[in-house]
Structure 1
Amino acid sequence: MKRLRGYLDGEDPKPAAAMFGLNAVDELDNATFIWLGPIIAESFDKGVGAFGIIGVLVLVVAPLVAVPVSLAADRRTRMPIALACAATWAVFSLASAAALTLTMLVLARIGSSLGRTVSYPVQLSLMADFYSPRVRAKALGVHAQANTVGAIFGALGAGAVAHFFGWRAAFVVLAIPTLLTILAVRKVAEPARGSYERRETEQALPFREVFPRLYAIRSQRYVWFGGVYLVGAVLGSTLVLPFYFKETYDIGPFGVGVIGAVAGLGAMVATFIGARIAQDRLNEAARIGVRWIASVCFAICGVLVLFGLAPTLWLAVPVLFVLFALFGLVSPLLAAIGTLIAPPELRSSAYAIGQVIWLLGAIPALVIALIADRLGFGWAFAFAAVVLLRGTFHLLTIARYIDDDVARRDPEHVDTAARTDQDGSVLLLETKGLTVSYDGVQVLFGVDLRIRQGEIVALLGTNGAGKSTTLNAINGLVEPDGGNIWFDGTPITGEPPERTTARGIVQAPGGRGIFPGLTVEENLRLGAFLLRNDKALLSSRLEEVLEVFPALRPLLPQRAGALSGGQRQQLVLAQAFLLKPRLLLIDELSLGLAPVIVQELLATVRRLNREGVTIVLVEQSVNVALTLADRAYFMEKGQVRFEGPTSELLHRDDLLRSVFLGGRTDVPLATA
């Protein structure tokens, strides 16, 4: 334990040892089934294709159970769930030994996989709360070592027992360590949830909100997408591997077990090395770690092809050793990525949902098995390399987003006490480093905004400056390439408009937010779509809006297309006010309107602000900004050139000349 404590930089080694034990005994059962696959299939008179179908069936069913259990794990004590999962796979491991028909075997393997698949997300969630980010990759490296240790002892033990007593005896003997581990681990204390990262929500989210919340995290969704290809390549290759040695080199179960153990030694050594490398990369920047994983995966693709082309056993075994070692290098970092991205209160759910999505990996895995059966093993491993290559490109996409997604839970933005500006004002909205591109052309370059609760802020600049794009990114109409957005301390980067609107962010898109063919009343009701299921509340809100906008009452039966420009703007503002926004984003309030109409609209906006609505107003008119706004941001070419009180704009001749008088544009960036 002293060495392990030193390896973990002084943090408690007992939880890592406990999770190592649970993960290792799980792998014993899995390795037994994988490496004894040829003789198990032979005993039921089946070949590699049928065995692959069994593996895919097991893969498909188990994750469906993992989701509800993981949701429970995100709400309840996790250690009892982890122990119950271990007991489940021990029982079904014994059931595998007793299977007399192929159907019984399939059911037993599904049951065993239920325990294993459900347990893995729970174990990773526990590890993330047991260990701080500065040593987490190392701790997860210890956890990943269990897969290798279990695979080695499973391969050797299963091969030896099966050689002397038959494959059924192997499942019985290797179930015993699981029961002993459960007894040893049961006293490990539950860690506090979110010990090292900030929670995004204090209350447990309802099931319907869990997936949208996680999907809004950009790198999380690409972890899910990329995992489909990674799982497909690894699962397919693993299913085919023992058949390759049996049919190509006529090696029996014990010999295959020895080969698996030798290759596992390579993975074991590489995992320790990889954990240290991963921790160094993560401590530098998460994106650097992900790019390193991608580079190793590119190498794995080449080695897979080489393995399939190996002409002799003496070349195939060393290549397999290298292949396992490369996977061992990246396994700690692959596990660590998920703990950094997902919020602490949703980690188990993030892994479980990923497992369901990764069911799609069964398709390429099955294709790999069928190719091996019909065309040969060389073609099968080559196809596995192509599948893995596709997943590797998803890793490169993750690298683009992961640093910003890790920063989502920065305490500076999440802590309630920290959501204040220098003057003590409460911050309602903040963007940091916001970048947006359209069709590969970048239009926003690191936009930083800080909007205080209850103020009116003008966003100024000429056409093409990025003002409307900034509003669209805040409201979720466009997804940022980089940076983050916080609303009331909650990260909302990447959330779709229906979710941001439900939070209280409502956008009024000038006079473009109406349907000319509908009446004014129909437009109002359509704008209140979030209230469509509560007719009483909708009627009450409509009456409130007509009190704020009395000029619209006599116009209710008229077609909106017949309204004047000023009336259309009032209708758009009324639609927004129906939803009781906390933050109102107004795009081009005064564009194309007569001065007298603009003055009426300004009075309406002031009234909304007095009602408690914070307002961000996109404007080209400095006069309107000076009349209405407390502060202003001045944008040019996708960047913020000025931030400060609107009155200070009058003293910034460089900005006014640049934008409104066509003067020079090469002035340095400045802030006030």
Structure 2
Amino acid sequence: MSDREELRANEQAALQEVEQTSAALRERARATLGVTGDENTESFRSLVRKHNLSYYPMVALGLLFVTGAFQSYAFTVLTPEISRTLGISIAAIVGARALYQLAIAIAPLPIARLSQSRARRAMLCIVTGVVWSCITLMTGLVTSLVALIVILCLDGLATGSVVALHAPLIADSYPPAARVRALTAYTAIGTFGQALAPLLVGILASVAGLSWRGVFLALGLTSLLLTLCAIRLRDPGFGKWDSEQLRASVHEEHGEPADSLAAKDVALGFWEICRRVMLIPTNRRVFAGFAVYGVLTVPLGTFISVFLDQRWNLGPGERGLFFSVFFGIGVLALIGYGGRGEKQFRSSPARVLRAAGFLLAGAVVFIAVGGVMPAFVPMLICFGVAGACIGLLQPMLGISMLSIVPAHMRPHAQALAGIFVAIGGSAGALLLGGIEDQYGIGGTMVAIAVPGVIGAFIIASAGTFIESDLDRMIDEVVEDEEIRRVEQSGGRLPLLACRGINFSYGQLQVLFDTDFTIDDGEMVALLGVNGAGKSTLLKVISGIGLPTAGSVRYRGQEITYLDAERRMRLGITQVPGGRAVFGPMTVVENLRSYGYTMAKHRGAVDSAIERCLEAFPRLAERRNSLASTLSGGEQQMLGLSKALMLRPRLLLIDELSLGLAPVIVGQLLDMVRQINADGTAVVLVEQSVNIALNLVDHAYFMEKGEMRFDGRADELLARDDLLRAVFLHGAGAAR
């Protein structure tokens, strides 16, 4: 066995060890995350005592949730009075609320970005709580529509911390076995605030005799005092009870101390994390559920207030009492659901999502029925049942989403969920406003059933994916830590390892569980007919395409979701077949663009350009010609010069010989050999077997998106079942 073969065998053994550890720990990891397949749960109180925890984080965040509801629900109850005092139509107020929803949509992402690199979520929650308390005070001072819009937008921006940070803080403050109950209790406290706010508005307006301005001033002061109760809130750090536990289990499996590794993860950037979260199949459906939830909150509340005013002639005090009962029933539902929800999640997370879909459908149906009820009491009952169903949706959707997202990505997931809530709220405001103009306020209540039922089916369908998404998250964390352990113990891994790659163009899947590795300084051939998936695999490696499943690891670190620009800075460069040059630019301008991509200074770029022109004298002759006027061979020379400019650690070459004369192919291959001899690992994609196998010792063969062969190049030549005559057309090209 040659040294190269022995090295590859050792690397493959290391990768198998990583996969075996991941498989061995998967069930234990699911139990660590609170999914055991049974419904046996320990009491919340005993869990708090066992882990020496406190109820304070849950209560403090709940109080901040309460204060965040004051301005919004006071505005909902007092909409008719504000409209009459300021001389603003209901349609204008609905438009202002749509802008408010837009502000809520914008706010969570910047908040998530601020908390991404440092655990300062608690501080952000307290500061924004003070800000929105002041905004509630200022609402009582507005005198025009413009001022009202400004106040509402500022309030929406400030409350972004509730959306982005509260649920992740709850998840990191309590162990997974208590998480559903902790999140449910937090939501119950917040929903109680939603019940308290309209009741308090009614008392202040009817009993105390305050105007709507006085009501906002009183609520602002109350909000400020409650916010100060959260002053001792602290951030526990990312993943204390899940990601860190999973990492520690890797070392326990091998009898090692958990603190033996100090290497940092390859951190995803802000937008890369957002994209990663959006790629999770369960999340895409849960986000649709959050959009419908958005319709059922702010805009629906505004129309219900108008409905009560116009249809049942209820004043502000009576409307406040109605909303207090509406949300109070939600609190009771949450209190009753906490333990049951923990059992559902422990048994199977899919049950939680199916139940959420059922509750959403029930909520919109009861709202529609309540909107056409001719009697007051049956109407109250219908809206009460709807309130109970709506109250349960937030923790059920939240725990489903947070359980499948790595700890440091949870603020981003919450922020994206908030965006969908806001989108649903904005779209709902416009939709319901148009329906109200055409069919009256009763028709608006009925119309809500259509998007609600559609959303219910989408949420329920997410249950099909959540189990596999949970396992995928576990595998990512465990494999990452196992790879670090292997490297720390002296094991060697390939320069690049693609494992279990699936890739689809829309609904068309083109890669199926594809594995591919290459070692540092190695040159391998990737062979196959047109449409086999070779170019698609290169796109996944270079970051141009993101897989639907599987992982890409480079130098031991996962880069599956890194942008292509960042991969290029890490040393991964691709020369695409026939598309490697910028046609409207000259030869020198193309070369200069390659150098500046790496942020090199002018002197280094000029030196590298001269080196490329020396390597390809034909390009030196045409240095001022447009790339589009070059021949096919000259364009490939220019594209290959990219590797000479950037000197990557891994070079991906797609169809180097396609359509070129043998003499040109020979020149290009000589340069590829030189690049590889200088230490660059090369992946050469070719249809011509003989051209490729004249260069490499190791080859891969793909067919219909699957890897059919992985082994020595001379062994591939003996595989008549794979090599067809169509591959042999370039037999003499490289000779």
Normalising by structure 1, we get a TM-score of 0.81
User: 2:310 pairs with 247, 251, 271, which one?
Assistant: 247
Helix, strand or coil at the partner of 1:510: coil
Q: Which residue number corresponds to residue 185 of structure 1?
A: 230
Fraction of identical pairs, as percent: 29
Q: Is the CA contact 2:111–2:160 (under 8 Å) kept in the aligned structure 1?
A: no
Taking the TM superposition and a 5 Å limit, the aligned residue runs for 1:96-495 are: 96-97=139-140, 109-133=152-176, 135-167=178-210, 168=212, 170-171=215-216, 174-175=219-220, 178-195=223-240, 196-197=242-243, 210-211=270-271, 213-215=273-275, 217-219=277-279, 222=284, 230-232=293-295, 234-271=297-334, 293-294=356-357, 296-336=359-399, 339=402, 344-345=407-408, 347-348=410-411, 351-352=414-415, 355=418, 360=423, 361-372=425-436, 375-388=439-452, 406=473, 409-413=476-480, 417-418=484-485, 424-438=491-505, 440-488=507-555, 492-493=559-560
Specify the alignment match of 2:645 in structure 1.
578
Once the two structures are TM-superposed, the CA of residue 165 in structure 1 deviates from its matched residue by 1.3
Q: Measure how far apart 1:150 and its partner are.
A: 0.8
Distance 2:610 2:458 in 1: 51
Unmatched tracts of structure 2, length 5 or more: 1-41, 248-262, 727-735
Q: Aligned equivalents of 2:606 and 2:289: distance in 1?
A: 47
1:149 counterpart letter in structure 2: F
For 1:603 and 1:309, the matched residues in 2 are separated by: 81
Task: Give 1:164 deviation, angstroms.
Answer: 0.6
* 3-state DSSP of counterpart to 1:376: helix
Tell me, in whole angstroms, the C-alpha distance in 1 between the residues paired with 2:83 and 2:370. 24
Output the CA distance in 2 between the equivalents of 1:111 and 1:552: 59
Cα 1:524/1:327, change in 2 over 3 Å:
same
Describe the shift of the 1:532–1:47 C-alpha distance in structure 2 as closer, same or farther (beyond 3 A).
same
Amino acid at match of 1:126: L
The amino acid of 2:676's aligned partner reads: N
Task: Give yes or no for contact 1:275–1:333 (8 Å, CA) kept in 2.
Answer: no
Q: Specify the SS of the correspondent of 1:457.
A: strand
Give the C-alpha shift of residue 637 in structure 1: 1.8
The 1:321–1:484 alpha-carbon spacing in structure 2 relative to 1, beyond 3 Å, is farther
Q: 1:227–1:120: structure 2 CA closer, same or farther, 3 Å change rule?
A: closer
Aligned-residue offset at 1:396: 7.9
Give RMSD over aligned pairs: 4.3
Deviations 1:2-47 (A, max 9, x none): 9643477955343223222222233344333323433444454555
Name the residue aligned to 2:24.
Answer: none
Structure 1 residues 83 and 466: CA distance shift in structure 2, 3 A: same
The alpha-carbon deviation at position 98 of structure 1 amounts to 5.5
How far apart are 1:158 and its partner, in Å? 2.7
* Structure 1 unpaired stretches of 5+: 663-672
1:5 matched to which residue of 2?
A: 45
CA 308–503 in structure 1, closer or farther in 2 if over 3 Å, else same: farther
1:625-636 residue pairs with structure 2 within 5 A? 625-636=692-703
Does the C-alpha gap of structure 1 residues 318 and 544 become closer, same or farther in structure 2, counting only changes over 3 Å? farther
Equivalent AA in structure 1 for residue 271 of structure 2: F
Distance, in Å, in 1 between the alignment partners of 2:301 and 2:629 is 68
Q: Does the C-alpha gap of structure 1 residues 197 and 605 become closer, same or farther in structure 2, counting only changes over 3 Å?
A: farther
Q: Is the 8 A contact 1:275 1:329 kept in 2?
A: no
1:16 equivalent to 2:58? Answer yes
Alpha-carbon distance in structure 2 between the residues aligned to 1:122 and 1:187: 16
Contact 1:476 1:497 in 2 (8 A): yes
- 1:490-516 CA-to-partner distances (Å, cap 9, x unmatched) read 655466645544554322223443467
Deviation at 1:331, TM superposition (A): 1.0
Aligned with 2:123 (options 73, 80, 83): 80
Using the alignment, how far apart are the partners of 1:85 and 1:46 within structure 2? 29
Summarize the Cα distance change of 1:439–1:39 in structure 2 as closer, same or farther, 3 Å threshold: closer
- SS of 1:436's partner is strand
d(CA) in 1 for partners of 2:457, 2:643:
41
CA positional deviation for 1:417: 1.3
Task: Write out per-residue CA displacement over residues 326-385 of structure 1, whole angstroms, 9 at most, x where no aligned residue.
Answer: 223321133335545666556545645665676554243144235335531233234444
For residues 628-653 of structure 1, give each alpha carbon's deviation from its aligned partner in whole angstroms, at most 9, with x where no partner exists. 345433322211233344454356x4
- d(CA) in 2 for partners of 1:46 and 1:282? 47
**Larger mean Cα displacement after TM superposition, 4-13 or 81-90:** 4-13
Pair 1:549–1:226, CA change in 2 (3 A): farther
Distance 1:287 1:541 in 2: 57
Distance in 2, matches of 1:260 and 1:368, equals 19
Which deviates more, 298-307 or 196-205? 196-205
Query: Any conservation in 2 of the 1:531–1:537 contact (CA below 8 Å)?
Result: no
Relative to 1, partners in 2 of residues 1:3 and 1:51: Cα closer, same or farther, differing over 3 Å? farther
Q: Please name the residue that 2:710 is paired with.
A: 643
Work out whether residues 363 and 387 of structure 2, in 8 Å CA contact, stay in contact via their aligned partners in 1. no
Contact 2:493–2:556 at 8 Å: present in 1 too? no
Q: Is the 8 A contact 1:58 1:109 kept in 2?
A: yes
Q: 1:292 to 1:548 in 2, by over 3 A?
A: farther
Q: Is the 8 A contact 1:216 1:495 kept in 2?
A: no
Residues of 2 paired with 1:261 and 1:473: CA distance?
Answer: 53
Does the CA contact (< 8 Å) of 2:59 and 2:189 recur in 1? no
- More displaced, 391-400 or 368-377? 391-400
- The one-letter code of the counterpart of 1:256 is R
Query: Aligned partners of 1:240, 1:455: CA distance in 2, in Å?
Result: 67
Q: CA separation in 2, counterparts of 1:551 and 1:572?
A: 13
1:379 counterpart letter in structure 2: G
Mean CA deviation greater in 216-225 or 318-327: 216-225
In the alignment, residue 170 of structure 2 is paired with which amino acid? M
Q: Does the Cα contact within 8 Å between 1:233 and 1:385 map onto a contact in 2?
A: no
Q: Distance in 1 between matches of 2:347 and 2:487?
A: 29
Letter in structure 2 aligned against 1:51: I
Q: Distance in 2 between matches of 1:38 and 1:533?
A: 63
